[in-house]
Amino acid sequence: MEITEINRRNIFERASKEEVYRKLIEIFGSTNVTNKEVDLYPYSYDMTENEPHMPDFAVIPEKVEQLVQLVKYCNQNIIPIVPYATGNNVGGLTIPDYGGIIVDFGKKMNKILYVNENMMYAVLEPGVTFGQLKKHLDEYYPQLRYSYPNAPPYAGVVGNALLSGMTSLAAKIGSMAESINGLEVITADGEVARIGSCFYGTDSDNFDSWWSRYPMPDLLGIFVNFQGMTGLITKCSVQLWPKEPIEKPQLVLFFGLTDIAPFLREVGRADIINDIAAFSVEVAKMEIGIPEPRKYPGEPPYTGVMPISAKTEKQMEAKIEILENLITDLNKKGTNILLIDYNEFSKLFNLKARNIYDLPSQILSLHEYSGLTWFGAYAPSNAFEELIKRTEELYHKYGVPSFNYLKIMKGGHYGIFRPIIRFKKFTDQERIVKLLEEIADVCIDLGCIPYKTPSWITEKMRKRINPGWLKLFEKIKDCMDPNNIFNPGRWNT
Ligand SMILES: Cc1cc2nc3c(=O)[nH]c(=O)nc-3n(C[C@H](O)[C@H](O)[C@H](O)COP(=O)(O)OP(=O)(O)OC[C@H]3O[C@@H](n4cnc5c(N)ncnc54)[C@H](O)[C@@H]3O)c2cc1C
Domain with residue 433: its CATH number is 3.40.462.10
Question: Taking the alpha carbons of 4, 51, 185, 165 in that order, is the dihedral positive or negative?
Answer: positive
Asked which of 242, 266, 294 is the last residue of a domain, the reply is 242
Gap from CA of 84 to ligand 1 centroid (Å): 9
Residue 466 lies in a domain: no
If one residue of 59, 163, 234 were mutated to test the ligand 1 pocket, choosing by the most ligand atoms within 8 A of its CB, it would be 163
Asked which of 242, 263, 285 is the last residue of a domain, the reply is 242
> pLDDT tens digits for the chain (493 residues)?
454 556 667 889 999 999 999 999 999 999 999 999 999 999 999 999 999 999 999 999 999 999 999 999 999 999 999 999 999 999 999 999 999 999 999 999 999 999 999 999 999 999 999 999 999 999 999 999 999 999 999 999 999 999 999 999 999 999 999 999 999 999 999 999 999 999 998 877 889 999 999 999 999 999 999 999 999 999 999 999 999 999 999 999 999 999 999 999 999 999 999 999 999 998 888 877 777 788 888 999 999 999 999 999 999 999 999 999 999 999 999 999 999 999 998 888 767 788 888 999 988 888 889 999 999 999 999 999 999 999 999 999 999 989 999 999 999 999 999 999 999 999 999 999 999 999 999 999 999 999 999 999 999 999 999 999 999 999 999 999 999 999 999 999 9
Residue 161 CB–ligand 1 contact under 6 Å? no
Kindly state whether residues 57 and 122 are assigned to the same domain: no
Kindly state whether residues 134 and 209 are assigned to the same domain: yes
Q: How many residues does the chain have?
A: 493
Asked which of 221, 242, 263 is the last residue of a domain, the reply is 242
Instruction: Name the packing angle between helices 455-462 and 425-445 (round to 10°).
Output: 30
Print the domain residue range for 142: 112-242
Kindly state whether residues 50 and 70 are assigned to the same domain: yes
Kindly state whether residues 89 and 124 are assigned to the same domain: no
Structural domain count, the chain: 3
Q: Which residue is closest in CA terms to ligand 1's atom 11?
A: 165
Sequence-distant (≥ 6) Cβ neighbours of residue 344 within 8 angstroms = none
Residue 166 CB–ligand 1 contact under 6 Å? yes
Sequence-distant (≥ 6) Cβ neighbours of residue 225 within 8 angstroms = 162, 163, 164, 177, 451
Residue 467 lies in a domain: no
Q: Which residue is closest in CA terms to ligand 1's atom 40?
A: 233
